[in-house]
Chain A
Amino acid sequence: MGPALKLVVQRVALGLLLLLACSVLIFTGTMILPGDVAQSILGQSATPEALANLREELGVNDPPVQRYFEWLFNALQGDLGTALTNGRSITESIGSRLSNTLFLAFWAAIISVPLAIFLGLLAVRYKDRWPDKLISAVTLASISIPEFLIGYLLMYLVAVKLRWFPSVSMINDSMTLGEKLSSIAIPVAVLTLVVLAHMMRMTRAAILNVMQSAYIETAELKGLNMFQVIRRHAFPNAIAPIVNVVMLNLAYLVVGVVVIEVVFTYPGMGQYLVDHVSKRDVPVVQACGLIFAAVYIGLNLIADVVSILSNPRLRHPK
């Protein structure tokens, strides 16, 4: 087994361990904190009998460790429990919503990743000249406004004033791909703007870092042209940092989606989560929290594995 493979296996094992620890954290976060779930569901006027019944139903009376393992094993088998508010299976409710959320995030990623890398390269190429300054000014501005306000700003301008796209992003299965894309155009634009700023800044820093190293100078001095320098020397060394940047921002995208879905009343995971947090529907919150954490950890894991695999020192052991 080569050292690269060994590192990858170690990293994956670490990721799984982290996920397990996260599930413990989410579970304890909702179960052991001072706050009576039954009381908050039924309100202050609940009778003691009703409270006792609900506690029994929720299984709050069982020891926490036992409840945790029951929850975990059911979740591993795809059973996330039932929602307290409507008694429906959480797995079923999440199924279509998760694919809607991934649909939104997918299109945002498809647009923002190439654009960010291109603009990042542009900023490096014209470092300290006006394209670079313009790009950093725009990124500063878009970092300074919360996502939901960028959402309403675009909704006001594009949907209400210009009437190009609908202001509410409803999608369902009977729509064609074109209709769906038109319906999610504004949220995709908002998400793109939000991650673009971070991604561009980080790409710029990563490439500058590579371009300033000694071997690039050597390559230039031995007479290679700019294209050759980038293709043979800069690019292979920039893969790992760029993939890292992309993955970090995709992970960020997953969180940005939560707020944007609420703004555009898009039927995805984020809206489902926020809805049920205000209804204090703990099983739903736990399930959504676990899924978001899993996606986040998974993307970070991919970033690390790619950077291990793209490192020639590990691929060709001495």
Chain B
Amino acid sequence: MKNIPISALIGLFLTALYFLTALFAPLLAPYGVAEVVGDVWEPSRIEIMLGIAPEGFTESDYWLGTDNIGRDLLSRMIYGGRTTIFVATAATILSFTLGSVLGFFAAVMGGWVDQVLSRFVDLVMSIPTLIFALVVLSVMPVTIPILILVMGLLDSTRVFRLARAVAVDIEVMDYVEAARLRGEKTAWIIFREILPNALSPLVAEMGLRFIFAVLFVSTLSFLGLGIQPPAADWGGIVKENKEGIVYGIPAALIPAVAIATLAISVNLVADWVLNRTTSLKGGRG
């Protein structure tokens, strides 16, 4: 674990910070998630410190100001991060478990199993993910488990393609053939022979899929089809405060900072994992 580049360290640190904040949200948030504490869109302490607050305001109790009905924005951002990160993590875990197991299975079995699975994935991927999610959510009740299920299933198609492509290369290796000749079962070949060797590209991809899930759940919530109020999440905060933009109130832009920093830090970590694994392969020849 020596020689971690500085960019990856920053990425790791920020990612850990976000996950810890999500985990300990009730301890860190100064106010409750739905608690009305002040007036509508009070300026933030940061704006006052920078001297860009509207005239007449010299002090504020709120680091990020208040939202469209006077709730503390910092608390909502912390709780919102918790929801967003939880949904995105759960969807990523689901898509990886399902996508990689089916991808390995298709590669190991080959033949018609591979054909049926691959063509079905091609079909699902030929419809844009957002459109497909909207079509499904138009008939399903929008709850968190259904959201996770829809996001995870749609995203597993992409993981399936990667896992299958990686596994097809591994499947022709001598040690897999040796395992076959020993008489190992398919499950053993998938989990004991292919999985350990396919792990690093999958882990790097996992970072990207997680970011995609964060962006996706934020988009759905922004469209009013994701996390339902009064629960907070980053996309929902934008939706609630968007009217303020026209009056020059930047409350709706705060989630942009959170999403962008989280996305960039996870990307930095994923890049490092990917580089490390590719250089390892280069070293092995």
Contact = CB atoms under 8 A, between A and B. Distances in A.
| Chain A bound to chain B | yes
A216 interface: no
Given A33-B140, A155-B245, A25 B134 contact: no
B231 interface: no
Interface string B239-263: 0001001111010110110011001
A276 interface: yes
A111 interface: no
Contacts of A167: 245-246
A288 to B, nearest CB: 8
Interface in B114-161: 122-124, 126-132, 134-141
Contact of A21 (B123, B211, B225): B123
A144 B123 contact: no
Interface stretch (B15-23, B32-40, B163-171, B215-223): B215-223
Contacts, number: 143
A156 B138 CA distance: 31
Contact of B219 (A31, A141, A146, A300): A146
Contacts of B136: 29-30, 33
Given A140-B267, A277-B134, A277-B225, A25 B248 contact: no
Given A160-B248, A259-B222, A286 B141 contact: no
A9 interface: no
A160 B222 CA distance: 21
Interface string A145-168: 111110011011000110000010
Contacts of A25: 123-124, 127
A29 to B, nearest CB: 5
B224 A278 contact: yes
Contact of B238 (A22, A26, A148, A160): A148
B126 A300 contact: yes
A26 B255 contact: no
Nearest to B246: A167
B54 to A, nearest CB: 13
A259 B126 contact: no
Q: Chain A CB within 10 Å — which of B127, B132, B222 has the most?
A: B127
Interface stretch (A63-71, A207-215, A237-245, A290-298): A290-298
A167 B135 CA distance: 29
A307 B246 CA distance: 46
Interface stretch (A116-124, A127-135, A250-258): A250-258
B264 interface: yes
A180 interface: no
A140 B264 contact: yes
Interface in A275-291: 276-278, 280-282, 285-286, 288-289
Given A35-B140, A148-B219, A300-B126, A286 B252 contact: no
A186 B222 CA distance: 19
Given A30-B135, A144-B264, A297-B126, A149 B238 contact: yes
Contacts of A147: 219
A7 interface: no
Contact of A29 (B135, B246, B259): B135
> Taking chain A's interface residues, is the majority helix, strand, or loop, or is none over half, making it mixed?
helix
Given A30-B135, A156-B250, A273-B134, A144 B259 contact: yes
A149 to B, nearest CB: 4
B139 A37 contact: yes
B131 A293 contact: yes
Given A140-B267, A160-B245, A292 B131 contact: yes
B126 A289 contact: no
Contacts of B246: 160, 167
A274 B223 contact: yes
B242 A152 contact: yes
Contacts of B259: 144-146, 149
A262 interface: yes
A22 B123 contact: yes
Given A21-B123, A30-B139, A289-B131, A148 B222 contact: yes
Nearest to B141: A35
Interface string B252-285: 1101100110011001000000000000000000
Contacts of B263: 143-145
A182 interface: no
Most chain A Cβ neighbours within 10 Å, of B131, B218, B222, B263:
B131
Task: Kindly list the 4 A-B residue pairs having the minimum CB-CB distance in the complex, ordered from nearest.
Answer: A144-B263, A149-B256, A255-B128, A285-B138
17 contacts: A22-B123, A22-B127, A29-B136, A29-B139, A31-B139, A33-B136, A146-B215, A146-B222, A146-B235, A148-B219, A149-B238, A160-B246, A161-B248, A277-B134, A278-B225, A282-B139, A286-B135
Given A140-B264, A167-B246, A263-B242, 19 more contacts: A26-B127, A29-B135, A29-B139, A30-B138, A31-B139, A33-B136, A144-B264, A148-B235, A149-B259, A161-B248, A274-B224, A277-B137, A278-B223, A278-B224, A281-B138, A282-B139, A285-B138, A293-B131, A300-B126
